[in-house]
């Protein structure tokens, strides 16, 4: 399969996740299911890490679980949306605090070889290039360190995609996603050692289409392609989409399929790290500072 040419509006992505920070945990059933699978992969890492990075942490559920798993490690929750980092405080106890860093996953503010474990749950699909994303994770990974990540793949929301294609075939309404083979190629090109990939389909069901759309909005998982329709969708087209989706109802419920790719790999040994713009500054986690709005 040829990888789709993706061009995301990253400002829109940040805005959508910022708006969803307060509702995210009411709708994150998929994220929690995928996190359970990633934590199973963490069993392959037998060492005791000193520093663990959660890339695209959202509200910090995963970061908190990482801290519970490795209480003596410094766990860093990183996200590009400040509102999500504010929500991380609910999972950061005074005895086992989480460091919070606001930054782009494609430009991590850490030096080369500074992390023992890098974890990322359903963040990769928001980047046009999995190679660039995985290269940056590999850059900060120590030799022999462990990386585990997940991404959505092409069959995700296939029912919604088909319904919109029937109602409005001229404009994209659902994001495209990279498949397992392209992610595997990207992991090798990024320099990761012995990547192992898996793909699975998870189907959630809903009472109706509007409930499914409300859940996507509550997660901040909206269409962010630059060529998306930016104006209001006409009522006739929206109703036509609803009718097309209703035709896919099964056993009285509306299905929504999510294809999930998981990958785990190891940091390459000393001397095998590709040189592609590493950070040379001394390591220091800078806590994200909340700023009160001006009155």
Residue 236 lies in a domain: no
Residue 125 lies in a domain: yes
Choose between 97 and 20: higher pLDDT: 97
pLDDT at 291: 38
Domain of 26 in residue numbering reads as 10-154+175-203+257-266
Q: Tell me the whole-structure pTM to 2 decimals.
A: 0.86
pLDDT at 230: 52
Choose between 283 and 100: higher pLDDT: 100
Average pLDDT over residues 207-222: 86
pLDDT at 24: 85
Residue 237 lies in a domain: no
Average pLDDT over residues 114-120: 98
Residue 239 lies in a domain: no
Residue 234 lies in a domain: no
Query: For the chain, how many structural domains are there in total?
Result: 1
CA angle 250, 251, 252 (to 5 degrees): 90
Residue 186 lies in a domain: yes
Residue-wise pLDDT for 66-82, tens only, equals 999 999 999 999 999 99
Give the CATH number for residue 29. 3.40.50.150
Residue 285 has pLDDT above 50, yes or no: no
Residue 169 lies in a domain: no
Residue 227 lies in a domain: no
Choose between 229 and 240: higher pLDDT: 240
């Amino acid at each position: 399969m040829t990888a789709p040419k993706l061009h995301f509006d990253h400002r829109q992505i940040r805005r959508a996740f910022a708006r969803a920070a307060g509702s995210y945990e009411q709708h994150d059933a998929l994220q929690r299911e995928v996190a359970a699978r990633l934590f199973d992969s963490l069993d392959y890492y037998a060492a005791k890490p000193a520093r663990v990075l959660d890339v695209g942490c959202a509200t910090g559920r995963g970061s908190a679980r990482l801290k519970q798993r490795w209480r003596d490690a410094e766990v860093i929750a990183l996200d590009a949306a400040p509102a999500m980092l504010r929500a991380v405080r609910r999972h950061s106890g005074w005895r086992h605090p989480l460091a919070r860093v606001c930054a782009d996953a494609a430009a991590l503010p850490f030096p080369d070889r500074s992390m023992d474990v890098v974890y990322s749950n359903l963040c990769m699909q928001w980047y046009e290039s999995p190679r660039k994303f995985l290269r940056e994770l590999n850059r900060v990974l120590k030799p022999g360190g462990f990386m585990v990540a997940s991404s959505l793949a092409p069959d995700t929301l296939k029912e919604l995609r088909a319904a919109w294609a029937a109602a409005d075939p001229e404009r994209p309404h659902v994001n495209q996603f990279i498949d397992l083979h392209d992610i595997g190629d990207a992991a090798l090109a990024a320099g990761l050692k012995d990547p192992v990939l898996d793909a699975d389909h998870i189907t959630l069901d809903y009472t109706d289409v509007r409930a499914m759309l409300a859940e996507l909005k509550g997660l901040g998982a909206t269409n962010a392609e630059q060529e998306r329709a930016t104006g209001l969708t006409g009522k006739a087209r929206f109703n036509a989409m609803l009718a097309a989706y209703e035709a896919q109802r099964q056993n009285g419920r509306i299905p929504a399929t999510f294809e999930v790719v998981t990958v785990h790999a190891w940091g390459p040994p000393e001397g095998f790290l590709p040189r592609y713009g590493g950070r040379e500054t001394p390591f220091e986690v800078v806590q994200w500072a909340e700023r009160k709005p001006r009155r």
